[in-house]
Amino acid sequence: METMKKRRSIRQYTSEDIPNELLNDLLSTASRASNTGNMQLYSVVVTRDAENKQRLAPAHFNQPMVTSAPVVLTFCADINRFRIWAENRKAQAGFDNFQTFMAATIDSMLFAEAFAEAAEEKGLGLCYLGTTTYNAKPIIEALNLPKGVVPIVTITVGHPQEPLPAQCERLPLDAIVHEEKYQDYTPEAIDRLYKGKEESDSNKEFVRANKKETLAQVFTEIRYTKANNEHFSAVFLQVLKDQGFLK
């Protein structure tokens, strides 16, 4: 719990490698996480080779962690292994659909987060890359992912470089927790819940540097624009079709 409370994303790593034995112990521990019907509808691809990291880097918009971290992990929703097992056992898996994609996505995310918790408990630092669902197609090509497999998130992991970055703020708990029923947000509630976030020095600087009037505008007009979101939605839905999860 104490490690969890102090956690922050780590984007700079020392040159120290992660022994295979430790990595495997962490992944094995993480595989104890809950999953759908104990089918384990996920896989993870481990990238350590420098050339292979270079190949992945553009898919993550060349964020430097991809090439500087000793280990890059790509967590995938995977029905391929289960389907082959079934076919070899006189069974036919009807898993090429959106509901099973959701189950496999959930499985792979619980597995990824369990890995993250275990790794951080062992003193490692990591960063999730949200670029994975934007650029799933080049990642599929770089990692030879067959039909039935879709990359969902990537984690870069290594030993944290000191000094550690400051911990980011979070919304107060009553912003995210609803008792019994969902209580929609009044303008007054929004003011109260977002006050700390809006008044943090780093976010104020973020607004200034981006020449915007409000912090929300930095998100909606620069970081996560409607045009980009819609473009990458169409691209990802096509990936789901190509990988066999949507008709």
Residue type, 125: G
- 213: contact with a second copy by CB under 8 A: yes
Beta carbons within 8 Å of 167's beta carbon, 6+ residues apart? 6, 7, 8
Q: Which of residues 146-185 bind a second copy (CB under 8 A)?
A: 146, 149, 152-153, 168-171, 173, 175-182, 184-185
Give the CA dihedral 103, 104, 110, 114, nearest 10 degrees: 150
Which listed range, 11-19, 30-38, 59-67, 156-164, lies at the site for a second copy (CB under 8 A)?
30-38
Among 11, 43, 60, 156, binds a second copy (CB under 8 A): 43
Size of the site for a second copy (CB under 8 A): 112
- The secondary structure of residue 74, as a DSSP letter, is E
Cβ nearer to a second copy, comparing 68 with 96: 96
Which listed range, 11-19, 63-71, 129-137, 158-166, lies at the site for a second copy (CB under 8 A)?
129-137
Closest to 75 (Cα-Cα) out of 169, 157, 161: 157
Please name the residue that has the structure tokens 């009553």: 174
Among 49, 61, 64, 164, binds a second copy (CB under 8 A): 49
CB of 171 to a second copy, least distance (A): 6
Binding mask 57-96 for a second copy (x = CB under 8 A): -----------------------xxx-xxx-xxxxxxxx-
Among 164, 165, 220, 241, binds a second copy (CB under 8 A): 220
Provide the token pair at 130.
């949200």
Provide the token pair at 122.
């062992």
How many angstroms separate the CA atoms of 115 and 29, rounded? 7
8 A C-beta contact, residue 221 and residue 212: yes
Provide the token pair at 72.
């890059």
Which listed range, 11-19, 57-65, 156-164, 219-227, lies at the site for a second copy (CB under 8 A)?
219-227
The kind and range of the H/E element at 45 are strand 42-47
CB of 152 to a second copy, least distance (A): 7
How many angstroms separate the CA atoms of 18 and 135, rounded? 27
CB of 15 to a second copy, least distance (A): 20
Which listed range, 11-19, 24-32, 60-68, 157-165, lies at the site for a second copy (CB under 8 A)?
24-32
Among 64, 102, 166, 205, binds a second copy (CB under 8 A): 102
Contacts for 230-238 with beta carbons within 8 Å, 24 or more apart?
232/133, 232/134, 235/134, 235/136, 235/137, 236/133, 236/134, 236/136, 238/137
- 103: contact with a second copy by CB under 8 A: yes
- 10: contact with a second copy by CB under 8 A: no
- 15: contact with a second copy by CB under 8 A: no
